[in-house]
């Protein structure tokens, strides 16, 4: 095994999913070496194929972000022939990951009970929005809705401002990550018992996990957290402060760092103000401290203040825009962005998994597939010969490799 070849090589994963949560999780499994077969709707495929713009050479960036190292099987599994194809596929699989509408797969004839009888070794990972029990269990959900429902939106943004969500797929991608962890645990259990597990995950459970400290605070009887913008409860100053051409994030987590900060920007007089000397005092006078410090930081450009803070040993960061992050030398040094040959996008770059093994990132084998790309290979592995595959394609049950 090479340094980059994943330990899941030889494992067959079937994804019946769409959007972000299931596709991101199965992409991780694919990066770890698994064979991932993405079962998609005929005609349109995964919803993210049409999330466009943004695009790259006409290809959806959202789809390309979450679907490398996969084969696509566009299949009408509600037809008799398609149901037989999916039955054979799941009988051959090690893992099934699905995030369809609650109950949709069972309604099509593939309940968890049926699957456990079909393939006792199958690990079934069901991803939902609100969880699998309770009054909202049957409701579909999206990442921003669960950010709002779980309280994340209530503590994001400025006090008195409009509700603000975290503008990345925080819960979808987080749930995909938890799914991968659960699959590794289920594989270890299967090694011991010989049988698979039925794993259930949800965006709400992921959200509540990210909200661990605020929720425990509620259990202890503390008030709900205030909205502090970029600030942090318990530490002042901590957050984004204006410069003449942007913002710099400063974290002065103790009184020693507070003094270093003031010395760096020539604002030692602020320590003499009433209520500014210690962190507990500064917390009480948070708005006043922030206003006074903001006035001083505004006198500098980013290029002027960053070296001063660095020399003084004050934790800080410029508030970078995405274009600056993309060009940043530290970002380039760690090699997270990697080229991946693609038949349509000549210079495609994708994001590696955030881990290396003996200095190497997991292997990126294939680009995100076109709809139906890889179907003939998958069907052949299930016992269908060329004539049978052609018949399935002609009857509209499957769509086969448009790029071959």
Q: In sequence order, what are the beta bridge partners of 398?
A: 75
Q: In 332-345, which positions are buried (b, 16+ CB within 10 angstroms) versus exposed (e)? A: eeeeeeeebebeeb
Cis before 193 (ω within 30): no
Six token digits for residue 67: 């679907």
Cβ burial of 230 (10 Å; 0-12, 13-18, 19+) is middle
State how beta strands 398-399 and 35-40 pair.
unpaired
Closest CA to 66 of 13, 8, 26: 26
Contacts (Cβ under 8 Å, ≥6 apart) of 256? none
- Told to judge if 172 belongs to the known catalytic residues of this protein, a careful annotator would answer yes
Catalytic residue among 172, 269, 271, 358: 172
SS3 201: strand
DSSP string of 272-307?
A: GSTT-SSHHHHHHTHHHHHHHHHHHHTTS-HHHHHH
Half-sphere exposure of 98 (CA within 13 A, CB side): 20
Task: List, by residue number, the catalytic residues.
Answer: 172
């Amino acid at each position: 095994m090479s340094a980059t070849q994943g330990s899941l090589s030889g494992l067959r994963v079937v994804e019946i999913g769409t959007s972000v949560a299931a596709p991101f999780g199965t992409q991780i499994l694919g990066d770890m070496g698994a064979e991932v077969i993405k079962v998609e709707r005929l005609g349109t495929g995964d919803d993210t194929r049409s999330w466009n713009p943004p695009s790259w050479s006409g290809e959806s960036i959202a789809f390309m972000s979450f679907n490398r190292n996969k084969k696509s099987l566009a299949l009408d599994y509600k037809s008799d022939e398609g149901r037989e194809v999916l039955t054979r596929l799941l009988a051959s699989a090690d893992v099934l990951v699905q995030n369809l509408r609650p109950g949709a797969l069972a309604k099509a004839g593939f309940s968890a009970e049926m699957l456990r009888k079909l393939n006792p070794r199958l690990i079934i990972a069901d991803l939902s929005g609100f969880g699998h029990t309770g009054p909202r269990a049957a409701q579909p959900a999206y990442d921003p809705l669960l950010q709002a429902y779980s309280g994340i939106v209530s503590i994001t943004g400025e006090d008195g401002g409009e509700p603000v969500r975290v503008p990345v797929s925080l819960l979808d991608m987080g749930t995909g990550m938890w799914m991968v962890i659960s699959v590794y645990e289920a594989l270890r259990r299967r090694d011991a018992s010989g049988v698979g597990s039925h794993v259930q995950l949800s965006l709400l459970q992921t959200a509540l996990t990210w909200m661990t400290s605020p929720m425990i605070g509620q259990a202890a009887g503390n008030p709900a957290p205030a909205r502090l913008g970029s600030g942090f409860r318990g530490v002042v100053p901590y957050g984004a402060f204006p410069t003449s051409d942007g913002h710099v994030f400063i974290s002065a987590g103790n009184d020693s760092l507070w003094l270093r900060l003031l010395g760096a920007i020539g604002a030692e007089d602020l320590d003499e103000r009433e209520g500014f000397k210690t962190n507990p005092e500064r917390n009480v006078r948070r708005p006043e401290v922030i206003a006074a410090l903001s006035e001083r930081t505004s006198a500098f450009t980013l290029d002027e203040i960053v070296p001063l803070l660095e020399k003084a040993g004050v934790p800080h960061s410029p508030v970078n825009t995405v274009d600056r992050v993309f060009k940043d030398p530290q970002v380039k040094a760690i090699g997270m962005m990697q080229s991946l040959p693609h038949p349509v996008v000549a210079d495609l770059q994708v994001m590696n998994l955030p881990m290396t093994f003996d200095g190497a990132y997991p292997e990126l084998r294939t680009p995100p597939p076109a709809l139906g790309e890889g179907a003939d290979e998958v069907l052949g592995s299930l016992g269908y010969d060329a004539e049978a595959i052609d018949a399935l394609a002609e009857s509209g049950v499957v769509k086969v490799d448009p790029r071959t």
